[in-house]
Chain A
Amino acid sequence: MLDLSWLLIAVPLASAFVLLLAGKRANSWGHWMGVAASASAFLVGLIAFLQMISRPADDRAINVHLFEWIPGGEMHLDAGLLVDPLSLTFVLLITFVGTLIHIYSVAYMEDDANRRIFFAYLNLFVAAMLLLVLADSFLLLFVGWEGVGLASYLLIGFWNFKPEYATAAKKAFVVNRIGDIGLIIAMGLMFAAFGNLDFDTVFGGVSGASEATLTAIGLMLLLAATGKSAQFPLQSWLGDAMAGPTPVSALIHAATMVTAGVYLIVRSAAIFNGAPDARVVVAAVGAFTLILGAVIGMAKDDIKKALAASTMSQIGYMMLAAGLGPIGYAFAIFHLVTHGFFKAGMFLGAGSVMHGMNDRVNMRRFGALRAAMVVTWVTFGAGWLAIMGIPPFSGFFSKDKIIEAAFVGEGWQPWVFGLAALIGAGLTAFYMSRLFFMTFHGKARWEDDQHPHESKLMMTVPMIILAVGSAFLGLILASGDRFVDWLEPVTGHAEHGEPVIAPMVLIIATLVLVAIGIFVAWRKYGVADVPIEAPAASLITIAARNDMFQDSVNRAVFQRPGQHLTRTLVYADAAVVDGAANGTAAGIAKTGEVTRKMQTGQVRGYAATMLVGLVILVIIVVQGGL
């Protein structure tokens, strides 16, 4: 079955094409075909996984050769898949969560006339994402990377008849393009340094490369990762990406695509191991984004945007872990998997709430939905407990390990990164509790036409499964270091580092901060009345409501000067380049205007001119003594 892993990509891709090309006649069964394509990809992945664990640990990287791709003299690149524990982890996460979200979407998108196209895009996304994680070269990875970017663009703008949604899609695409430049430059550097782009050549040649080269490649890979994973400074697109249908937010902008940056870093572990400086930058970006996202999440009233800020913050945790090096890689992926479950679950819960509330997203008009939507309340609660890291929910095992690993090291780094991770845990508890209490507890602040109701079975069942995963997955994977051992062939063996603070103290400190966060949120949003209009607030809250004015900064620093630059260039093109061409033509025409006057048509005039010319010639000849 491992040799057939190309089916993972081929099946959803074929399904996407059929759905797009079949037209309206596929409307009645198209969504089921989409579900089936995703589910069969999951089955293939599951069988591959079962075969994989029956192999010895050091023989778990299988190269599946697909075809000769670029046979170009000295550079010879084949398209192939690399099936190893890391890629299989992603395959299982993508296809499992993906299938659940496909099923959820069948009900969620029921009333949409374009449901078939929605499923085609979803399948396209699954295929591209699987290509991204299975590729055995950076170039093939880039194909998947662009594929998910395209699918993300199409799905954010799925309701593009609303201009602001179309703008959001465009924004996501353009911001991602900046990150893509990083990946392209990184590939160029790799090609210059190693001569080829497949993982074997690149990672095999790392030991012979200078640290400066590796640092440059690492930083460019980081730029790519910040774009895709919505990390500072390219995080501004994620909030607007919530314009897409909620299942899209759950699958692409929470569970899978946005984690591609973390995958890229962990996959390039060999490069980052040789570039400690680049790793510190990765960790710093992660630590900064996790605080930034948390602060933004505390101020948002839009339930989906609050969750998006939370995604940003949680991916910050993963980036931080990935930047810590070998001790963090496995935990980054661990947190990625558990986050995939609980965040997708919570997004589906948010979708369920929106379904019950006529697609409204303002949490200030929610409240007391616990009674009306019991299943949503319970499943969302599981995700809520998981993201805060309450034991024994899954977030506890993954996030606590990251906090512990962040405190390992010497000098200033463990204190800065560790404290950021620790404070982030407290902030997470506050903003998630705020979201939870504002939505499900307190007094009902519904508008008059609201009649909240529980969603259909087809929506609640995926939520229940994801909630179960949020609750127990961490425990299952963490017991006996099962997950870390599983990833060890890829991430390398990590020396156990001793944190600068005792682990037990850290766990207690984390839980105390979380408890404080929950308590403050309960006092403010559970017990007290929540004003329907956002109250006047401090400067930092206003900044957080406006995404830390990142859009304004981008506009002032990049967009406006860019526009001025293009305008100047257009003007220069018109004035200088066109001016030179047009000016020459005009000058020649003018000269013609003047000289044609000399052609009088008078024969005697011509004769006189000739005579004068002759006389002048004679004078010259005589004077010059020629």
Chain B
Amino acid sequence: MDPISFVYLAAILFAIGSAAVLTRRNAIVAFMGVELMLNAANLALVSFSRIHGEVDGQVMAFFVMVVAAAEVVVGLAIIIAVFRTRQSISLDEPAELRG
């Protein structure tokens, strides 16, 4: 199988993820979108690693996984904290930081 197909898949996944982040109001769904985008990036890295026959991309993918794990922890904690104060996890409601 041509490894370039995985790059296309990664692009599709990234597009789906970003669409989820931009269109959904639910924080959890948007968060899932972010995870999808991260994994799409990981997939692209690994694919390029394979195409070029080097391990750099795979090493990078491990880093991304670690960062993603940490991000999930922090992100979910923030979502829970927001839910506790507002009884809502809509992304459009908290706009206090507008200029």
Interface residues in chain A, defined as those with a beta carbon under 8 Å from any beta carbon in chain B: 595-604, 607-608, 611
Is B91 a contact partner of A611 (Cβ separation < 8 A)? no
Q: In the assembled complex, how far is the CB of residue B7 from the closest CB belonging to chain A, in whole angstroms?
A: 14
Q: How far apart are the CA atoms of A599 and B25 in the complex, in Å? A: 19
Interface size on B, residues (CB 8 A): 13
Is B97 a contact partner of A601 (Cβ separation < 8 A)? yes
Whether A599 touches B99, Cβ cut-off 8 Å, given contacts A604-B21, A604-B22, is yes
Q: How far apart are the CA atoms of A119 and B21 in the complex, in Å? A: 96
Q: In the assembled complex, how far is the CB of residue B19 from the closest CB belonging to chain A, in whole angstroms?
A: 10
Is B95 a contact partner of A600 (Cβ separation < 8 A)? yes
Q: How far apart are the CA atoms of A608 and B96 in the complex, in Å? A: 19
Please name 30 pairs of A and B residues whose Cβ atoms are closer than 8 Å in the assembled complex, sorted by A: A595-B99, A596-B99, A597-B99, A598-B99, A599-B98, A599-B99, A600-B95, A600-B98, A600-B99, A601-B94, A601-B95, A601-B96, A601-B97, A602-B92, A602-B95, A602-B98, A603-B91, A603-B92, A603-B94, A604-B21, A604-B22, A604-B25, A604-B30, A604-B91, A604-B92, A607-B21, A607-B22, A608-B22, A611-B18, A611-B22
Q: Which residue on chain B has the smallest CB distance to residue A611?
A: B18
Chain A residue contacts of B92, Cβ below 8 A:
602-604
Q: In the assembled complex, how far is the CB of residue B94 from the closest CB belonging to chain A, in whole angstroms?
A: 7
A/B pair count, beta carbons within 8 Å? 33
Chain B residue contacts of A607, Cβ below 8 A:
21-22
Contact mask for chain B residues 65-99; partner A; CB cutoff 8 A; 1 contact, 0 none? 00000000000000000000000000110111111
Q: Which residue on chain B has the smallest CB distance to residue A607?
A: B21
Q: How far apart are the CA atoms of A571 and B30 in the complex, in Å? A: 60
Chain B residue contacts of A599, Cβ below 8 A:
97-99
Q: In the assembled complex, how far is the CB of residue B82 from the closest CB belonging to chain A, in whole angstroms?
A: 11
Chain A residue contacts of B22, Cβ below 8 A:
604, 607-608, 611
Q: Which residue on chain B has the smallest CB distance to residue A603?
A: B91
Q: In the assembled complex, how far is the CB of residue B98 from the closest CB belonging to chain A, in whole angstroms?
A: 3
Chain B residue contacts of A603, Cβ below 8 A:
91-92, 94
Additional pairs, 15, CB under 8 Å, beyond known A600-B98, A602-B92, A611-B22: A595-B99, A597-B99, A598-B99, A599-B97, A599-B98, A601-B94, A601-B95, A601-B96, A601-B97, A601-B98, A601-B99, A602-B98, A603-B91, A604-B25, A607-B21
Chain B residue contacts of A604, Cβ below 8 A:
21-22, 25, 30, 91-92
